[in-house]
Amino acid sequence: MEKERKKILSGIQPTNTPTLGNYLGALDNWVKLQQEYDCTYCIADLHSITVRQDPQQLRKQVYESYTLLLAMGVDPEHSTAFVQSQNCQHAELSWVLSCFTQFGELSRMTQFKDKSAKHPENINAGLFTYPVLMAADILLYQADLVPVGIDQKQHLELSRDIAMRFNNIYGDVFTLPEAYIPTDTAKIASLQDPTKKMSKSDENPNASISVLDDRDTIIRKFKRAVTDSDSHVRYAPGKDGINNLMTIYGAVTGKTYEQTEKEFDGKGYGEFKLAVGEATADRLAPIQAEYARLSADKKYIEECMKNGAEKAFKSSRRTLQKVYKKVGYIVL
């Protein structure tokens, strides 16, 4: 008898094309996780409107993000891949959970403080209650594990607190999710400021690589990458720029730092930057080709979205009905 696989839930916002950092740090791992876990992946578009969006552009980006997931290797037959807003139960559970979340807990969320500072003209209630919706995303599917970065760990801890509070009142309703932090995931920094992570919101276009950047653009950005005054390709403390390039090269080629140092012994930074750019372009080329192929078949993408939403609704329905019964709602 096959052992029941643990459940993993993860989502990505569709507000920009994913960067190389997003791909190597998270999305590539989503593909690998499918072999071992029962995976549910969503395009988290409900979360996107805490910041004002252009409706047409948001729809375009949802299509792009979903298509890219499939192009990267997320298998809609094997995993549940869906668009968050197409399963209304996320919003429904979020309301119930918000009644079991304390105001003080939400006011301590660092992301609320950060985003409020960035968008002082639009400090809305959705921005404040965003972590409750994230808790609903996770708890709705009884996720055992949630891949998280450092910036989302606080939200996962809140999800656990909310789940424990609800369970203490009503019994064993929610699975308590654990953080999934893979040890072999590459942490990719900005090409222009390697002390910061590569971000799709960076105003400097040379700071990040988009997974859909063409080959010439990728190579040009790597040629302009910040390094240091040394000329030896070696990994060492304080050499943030070259360390970042070596991390990227290793992530896209599978080579260790030692192998990279040996390969480029006696060669300068210019030659190494070109090699990193070419290797990155080679790694992204099959994804870009598959993305172009899938983008030309909108009917197939929408069919996958529909099937994914139906699977997500079905697998989450039981949890929501149980919650509704526990709090006293009539479930027909």
In the prediction, which pLDDT does 118 show? 79
One domain for residues 45 and 63: yes
How many other C-beta atoms lie within 10 A of the C-beta of residue 181?
Answer: 13
Does the residue 192 lie in any domain?
A: no
Mark whether 153 and 219 lie in a shared domain: no
Asked if the structure places residue 190 within a domain, the reply is no
250 and 307 co-located in one domain: no
Q: What is the pLDDT of residue 2?
A: 56
- Nearest CA-CA partner of 99 in 49, 146, 152, 169: 169
Q: Coil, strand or helix: which one is 330?
A: coil
Domain that holds residue 220: 215-292
Extract the tokens encoding 263.
């390969």
Q: What share of the chain is helix, strand, coil (3-state, %, to 5)?
A: 55, 10, 35
pLDDT at 220: 96
- The answer to whether the beta carbons of residues 200 and 188 sit under 8 Å apart is no
Active site positions, annotated: 115, 197, 200
d(CA 210, CA 202): 12
**Is residue 40 domain-resident?**
yes
Do 288 and 303 sit in the same domain of this protein?
A: no
Same-domain status, 240 and 273? yes
Same domain, yes or no, for 129 and 239? no
Residue 249: per-residue pLDDT: 95
> What is the residue-wise DSSP string for 91-132?
HHHHHHHHTTS-HHHHHT-HHHHHHHHH-TT---HHHHHHHH
Same structural domain, 13 and 36:
yes
Residue 203 domain-assigned? Answer: no
Q: Are residues 13 and 100 in the same domain?
A: yes
Same domain? For 158 and 220 the reply is no
The answer to whether residues 227 and 309 belong to one domain is no
| Verdict on whether the full-model pTM lies above 0.85 | yes
Q: Please check whether residue 193 is in contact with residue 226, taking contact to mean a CB–CB distance below 8 angstroms.
A: yes
Assigned domain for 206 exists: no
Both 137 and 239 in a single domain? no
Question: In this structure, is residue 208 part of a structural domain?
Answer: no
DSSP assignment, residue 199?
-
**CATH code for the domain in which residue 177 is found:** 3.40.50.620
For the chain, what is the domain count?
A: 2
Is 2 inside a domain boundary? Answer: no
Kindly give the confidence (pLDDT) of every residue in the chain, 332 residues in length, as a single tens digit, with 9 standing for 90 and above.
Answer: 457 899 999 999 998 889 999 999 889 999 999 999 999 999 999 999 998 999 999 999 999 999 999 999 999 999 999 999 999 999 999 999 999 999 999 988 887 887 788 778 888 999 899 999 999 999 999 999 999 876 678 889 999 999 999 999 999 999 999 999 876 667 899 999 999 989 888 889 999 999 999 999 999 999 999 988 777 899 988 889 999 999 999 999 999 999 999 999 989 899 999 999 999 999 999 999 999 999 999 999 999 999 999 999 999 999 999 999 999 999 99
What backbone phi and psi angles, to 5 degrees, belong to 313? -60, -45
Q: Is residue 196 part of a domain?
A: no
159 lies in the same domain as 237: no
Task: Residue 288: give its domain's CATH number.
Answer: 1.10.240.10
